[in-house]
DNA sequence: TTGTACGCGTTATCAG
DNA sequence: CTGATAACGCGTACAA
């Protein structure tokens, strides 16, 4: 490992001078600058990031805490975030919390000790008190957070309304909902949106709502028994795409054709939803934009912009595919 | 931020003593130890990881370089790796290289400057020379690497043979192959295995092999034209699961039933393959085991075990589901 | 315009 | 058993 001292020696200047040309600050004579640059090249010198971190109390690193990278929603997010961060010279540490508060705390602890410059987090449980202790640039993702920390998420209620109203539009009269875990804010909101939109015409029917745990296996089972108990159901709004995939299986197993017998809308628009058969009509979250926005927010916070914008919820949009009839 | 000095002052000892109790080395009187421990608790002191790194030239961090976390094969891998690393006190930096050598080099450079203790990498292009320059614990993943670096991957030729021989067993006479990019070692090997197994009985027919680029869209298009040009094809071995999904779509569009008219086997056994309809028969790579093995190898390398085991290729196994007929 | 010297927070060596 | 102190590699007052 070659250090700044080696370069200084080689260029016959002091480390200070080398440091100056390295960081482009302070005055430095053009000729000596050239000398230094040459030495740097010749020795293939790369400044040591750790030493730099220690001094500057920053690491050009951020933490990304998500429940589980295996959940298909997150790779897309992670990719966007990593991309923009990388472009800006940051590196990202991946943390899978399993939505476990202790794990979250654990990661936050470690990240802080590594001088990460900020963290992006997807969490349901974030206690006000703890947040303040951090004094660390922090932005929430996918779900609204405490009022002290900006968060990037989409308008789930609106999205759910969109889904249900579209189902109504295309002729569904008995619309069921496969619901995510109510411990997760967006699942609750999607349920709310569903209920709200249903109640505009019909009376809300509680037994048309079944829990699917945001997983396709559970959703499949739930949908099967739903369809058995309520054979007249002709439309389903699934709380996310993965559960919608379960519904597709359920439909096949109970002998229904999608969309002819049963129309289906998911939520998220993860990239597999187009790949399914039938391809899935869904409420599309602008994951790319959201990831970019979150990254920019965090970067801005890191740069020191104390009071940073609290972005409005992103609008989710209806993405029509083959699991619903065309109007 | 409270430092070791604060603790020392508070406990009325020297920083050296605090450091000793922190790291449990060197002798320290039981009573003073208690004092120190109490101070640590009281001040809620956490050692600064960066300072520690600077001194020890290690960071309790590893780099994970993969082509793209959005490729469904990698989240599973990333999750396993992150899990075992986290348990052992390591943190992982996620790097998406897009299989681009320059990006790989870029990341390696950065990682090194951050004193990462090692890196796991999925790459096709790794030049012998460069590797030696690193002097960094390194293990390959998913693909064999140069002979100097241990790598964890499965026996793709064997897996492909397994697939094709099973297709023959269950009555296929005209077996086609959707092929991955030949720049990727495992794609080439899967193709080799296919060819090898085919040639055992029939003569190999080159136009039954079509490129699918490891993507479902391309694979779908390729399969459609394949099935048009060679309507007698009754079995397809897809180079990976994602391409198999494309084949499912192609089959539907060309009016064939899977598995009755066309039998299909994929490769990888990513978790979505069970979710598809029909659920996908595939060659299952033990991703979990592989991730664990790779992690252990890397850890071992990091610990200084100069000559670490070069693991044998993992055996992939046939996972029968509904895209093939039962025997 | 350049160099010296100190600090960032730890750990390890070496006296005591 | 404990305490100074010198690294680790870099950035920046402060002097020159």
The confidence score (pLDDT) of residue A132 equals 60
Separation between Cα atoms, residue B243 and residue B261, nearest integer Å: 18
Contact (CB, 8 A) for A64 and A79: no
Does A245 contact B50 at a Cβ distance shorter than 8 Å? no
Separation between Cα atoms, residue A282 and residue A308, nearest integer Å: 32
Across the range B317-322, mean pLDDT stands at 97
pLDDT greater than 80 at residue B327: no
Task: Name which of B50, B245, B275 is nearest A59 (Cβ-Cβ).
Answer: B50
The confidence score (pLDDT) of residue A207 equals 94
The residue written with tokens 């180079």 in the block is B239
How many structural domains compose chain B? 3
The residue written with tokens 């779908």 in the block is B220
Q: A234 vs chain B: nearest CA distance in angstroms?
A: 21
From the number of C-beta atoms within 10 Å of its C-beta (0-12, 13-18, 19+), residue B3 rates as middle
Separation between Cα atoms, residue A280 and residue A43, nearest integer Å: 56
- Distance in Å, residue A58 CA to nucleotide D1 C1': 37
A52 touches strand D (CB under 7 A): yes
The confidence band for A128, taking pLDDT boundaries of 50, 70 and 90, is low
Q: Name B93's bridge partners.
A: A93, B63
Residues of B (9-68) placing their beta carbon closer than 7 angstroms to any atom of strand D are 12-17, 20, 26-33, 51, 54-55, 57
Predicted confidence (pLDDT) per residue in A241-252, tens digit: 999 999 999 999
Task: Give me A162's structure tokens.
Answer: 């969109």
Shared domain check, A209 and A239:
yes
For residue B160, being part of any structural domain is answered with yes
Shared domain check, B89 and B19:
no
Shared domain check, B173 and B148:
no
Task: Give chain B's mean pLDDT.
Answer: 94
- Distance in Å, residue A296 CA to nucleotide D14 C1': 38
Shared domain check, A67 and A40:
no
Shared domain check, A172 and A272:
yes
The confidence score (pLDDT) of residue B19 equals 97
For residue B161, being part of any structural domain is answered with yes
For residue B164, being part of any structural domain is answered with yes
Predicted confidence (pLDDT) per residue in B87-106, tens digit: 999 999 999 999 999 999 99
pLDDT greater than 80 at residue A134: no
pLDDT greater than 60 at residue B288: yes
Q: What percent of chain B has pLDDT over 90?
A: 87
Predicted confidence (pLDDT) per residue in A178-221, tens digit: 999 999 999 999 999 999 999 998 788 999 999 999 999 999 99
Greater pLDDT, A26 or B274: B274
- Per DSSP (E only), the strands in A76-170 are 91-96, 118-121, 138-141, 151-152
The confidence band for A62, taking pLDDT boundaries of 50, 70 and 90, is very high
B15 touches strand C (CB under 7 A): yes
CATH number, domain of A108, equals 3.40.50.2300
Q: B245 vs chain A: nearest CA distance in angstroms?
A: 7
Shared domain check, A183 and A37:
no
List the one residue out of A103, B23, A102 whose CA is nearest residue A94. A103
**Contacting A residues, span 131-190, partner chain B, CB-CB under 8 Å:** none
Shared domain check, B234 and B172:
yes
Shared domain check, B191 and B146:
no
Task: Name which of B49, B109, B245 is nearest A275 (Cβ-Cβ).
Answer: B245
For residue A321, being part of any structural domain is answered with no
Q: Quickly count helices (H) and strands (E) in chain B.
A: 12, 11
B43 touches strand C (CB under 7 A): no
Greater pLDDT, A136 or B190: B190
Range of the domain at A32: 4-47
Element (H, E) at A108: helix A101-113
Could you tell me the CA-to-CA distances from A130 to A104, A123, A146, A185 in Å, in that order? 11, 13, 11, 20
Tell me: cis bond preceding B141? Omega within 30 of 0 counts: no
B28 touches strand C (CB under 7 A): no
Distance of CA B146 to the CA centre of its chain: 17
For residue B326, being part of any structural domain is answered with no
Shared domain check, B185 and B144:
no
Separation between Cα atoms, residue B96 and residue B255, nearest integer Å: 38
Greater pLDDT, A307 or B6: B6
pLDDT greater than 90 at residue A305: no
Q: Supply the DSSP string of B158-207, one letter for each residue.
A: HHHHHHHHHHHHTT-SSEEEEE--TTSHHHHHHHHHHHHHHTTTS---GG
Could you tell me the CA-to-CA distances from B250 to B179, B181, B215, B322 in Å, in that order? 15, 20, 13, 17
Shared domain check, A225 and A149:
no
Element (H, E) at B2: none
| Residues of chain A contacting residue B78, judged by C-beta atoms under 8 Å apart | 69, 94
Task: Give me A203's structure tokens.
Answer: 């009376």
For residue B104, being part of any structural domain is answered with yes
The confidence band for B148, taking pLDDT boundaries of 50, 70 and 90, is confident
pLDDT greater than 80 at residue B128: no
B27 touches strand C (CB under 7 A): no
Shared domain check, B94 and B17:
no
From the number of C-beta atoms within 10 Å of its C-beta (0-12, 13-18, 19+), residue B98 rates as exposed
Q: Residues of A173-183 as b/e, b for ≥16 C-beta within 10 angstroms?
A: eebbbbbbeee
């Amino acid at each position: 490992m070659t250090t700044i001292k080696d370069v200084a020696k080689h260029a016959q200047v002091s480390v200070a001078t080398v440091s100056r040309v390295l960081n482009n600050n302070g005055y430095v004579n053009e000729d000596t600058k050239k000398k230094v640059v040459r030495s740097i090249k010749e020795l293939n010198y790369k400044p040591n990031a750790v030493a730099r971190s220690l001094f500057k109390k920053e690491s050009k690193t951020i933490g990304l805490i998500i429940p589980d990278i295996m959940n298909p929603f997150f790779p897309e997010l992670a990719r966007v975030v990593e991309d923009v961060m990388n472009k800006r010279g940051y590196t990202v540490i991946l943390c899978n919390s399993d939505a476990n508060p202790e794990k979250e705390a654990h990661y936050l602890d470690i990240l802080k000790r590594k001088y990460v410059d900020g963290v992006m987090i997807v969490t349901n449980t974030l206690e006000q008190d703890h947040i303040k202790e951090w004094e660390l640039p922090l932005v929430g993702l996918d779900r609204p957070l405490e009022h002290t920390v900006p968060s990037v998420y989409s308008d789930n209620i609106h999205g759910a309304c969109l889904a249900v109203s579209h189902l109504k539009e295309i002729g569904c009269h008995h619309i069921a909902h496969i619901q995510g875990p109510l411990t997760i804010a967006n699942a609750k909101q999607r349920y709310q949106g569903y209920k709200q939109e249903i109640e505009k015409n019909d009376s809300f029917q509680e037994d048309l709502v079944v829990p699917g745990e945001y997983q396709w296996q559970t959703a499949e089972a739930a949908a099967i028994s739903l369809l058995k108990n309520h054979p007249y159901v002709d439309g389903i709004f699934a709380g996310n795409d993965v559960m919608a995939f379960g519904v597709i299986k359920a439909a096949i197993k109970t002998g229904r054709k999608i969309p002819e017998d049963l129309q289906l809308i998911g939520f998220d628009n993860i990239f597999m939803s187009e790949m399914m058969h039938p391809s899935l009509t869904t409420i599309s979250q602008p994951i790319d934009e959201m990831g970019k926005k979150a990254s920019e927010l965090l970067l801005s916070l890191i740069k020191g912009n104390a009071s940073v914008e609290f972005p409005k919820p992103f609008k989710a949009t209806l993405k029509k595919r083959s699991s619903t009839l065309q109007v």
